Amino acid sequence: MSEGTVILKLGGSVITFKDGFMEANPASLSRLASEIHEAGREKLVLVHGGGSFGHPLAFKYKLHEGFRDYGQLEGFSRVHLAMRKLNRIVVESILAQGLKAVGIQPSSCVITRSGRIERFETTPLEKMLELGITPVLYGDVVPDLERGFSILSGDQIASYLGIRLNAEWIILGTDVDGLYTGDPKRDPEAKLLEKVTLDGLKRIIDEIGESSTLDVTKGMYGKIMELIPAIEKGVKVLIVNAKERDRVLKALRSEKVRGTLILRS
């Protein structure tokens, strides 16, 4: 990788204990912050998921359905507060390594329409990058022009910023090694797909569909669908297992690393 802008998306399953409730994974966060520091990227945008902070509350208040009744407004507030707490923990982990980072609240700079980003004020973020500061964003509940509010995933944020900032790479740090020919947890013959083109990816999706073995975690299908617009614009995507030591470090350094590389062609 050259020294262009890189978007690093860390999944909630990597930085929190998803079986708990609002329980961060400090050991994982500390290690990942150390790897980010060691990689020394000059222009890095970090986006993280919600894990056990955002998802349980969003489900409880049915926020994915949009605004239906006033009782959900408490959920809007509680999910937002939970995600700000997680974002603070992530930022503090990065600051502990001597890096400069600032949390950015998506609900204050993004408007969606039917769940898709309509407007995103990125000028402050871009200025932070110029100054050498790492912006840290996260999946959030945001105002929506048609639904009242929507859940904006970190994956959609990463894809949008990948295009908007003309990023060279989006690195997706998940809890699996990448995309497989089957579910590796069930199929011992499943093989890691080390490189996939956009056409090949679309064929796989068309052939197997949402409930397919491609979706080795519940959210993988959705992640890939969100990233396709960025891939179509020429942004390279690399999926790596962020739970494995030094995988993110190697990806950020452009070193050979186990994972799945997705290219436009």
The proportion of the chain whose per-residue pLDDT surpasses 70, expressed as a percent, equals 94
pLDDT at residue number 208: 45
pLDDT in the model for residue 114: 96
Q: Which of 55-69, 80-94, 141-155 has the lowest mean pLDDT?
A: 55-69
- pLDDT for 142 equals 96
Task: Please name the helix (run of DSSP H) or strand (run of DSSP E) that holds residue 136, with its range, or none.
Answer: strand 134-138
For the chain, give the mean pLDDT.
91
Q: Is the C-alpha dihedral spanning 113, 119, 124, 125 positive or negative?
A: positive
Name the least confident of 44-58, 64-78, 189-203, 242-256. Answer: 189-203
89: three-class secondary structure by DSSP: helix
pLDDT at 206: 63
217 with 228: CB under 8 angstroms? Answer: no
> 235 or 203, which is more confident?
235
Domain range summary for the chain, segments of one domain joined by +? 6-263
pLDDT in the model for residue 219? 64
pLDDT reported for residue 104: 98
pLDDT over 80 (residue 40)? yes
Higher model confidence: residue 159 or residue 216?
A: 159
Please compute the mean of the pLDDT values over residues 167-192 and round it to a whole number. Answer: 87
Architecture of domain 6-263: 3-Layer(aba) Sandwich (3.40)
* Res. 139 pLDDT band, cuts 50 70 90: very high
Q: How far is CA 185 from CA 63, 147, 205, 217, in A?
A: 31, 37, 20, 10
Rounded to whole angstroms, the Cα distance separating 53 from 81 reads 9
Q: Report CA 13 to chain centroid distance, whole Å.
A: 11
> 67-105: b or e for each residue (b if 16 or more CB lie within 10 Å)?
beeeebeebbebbbebbbebbebbbebbeeeebebebbe
- Residue 212's pLDDT is what? 40
* Cα–Cα distance measured from residue 155 to residue 44, given in angstroms and rounded to the nearest whole number: 16
Do the bridges between strand 116-120 and strand 6-10 make them parallel or antiparallel, or are there none, so unpaired?
Answer: unpaired
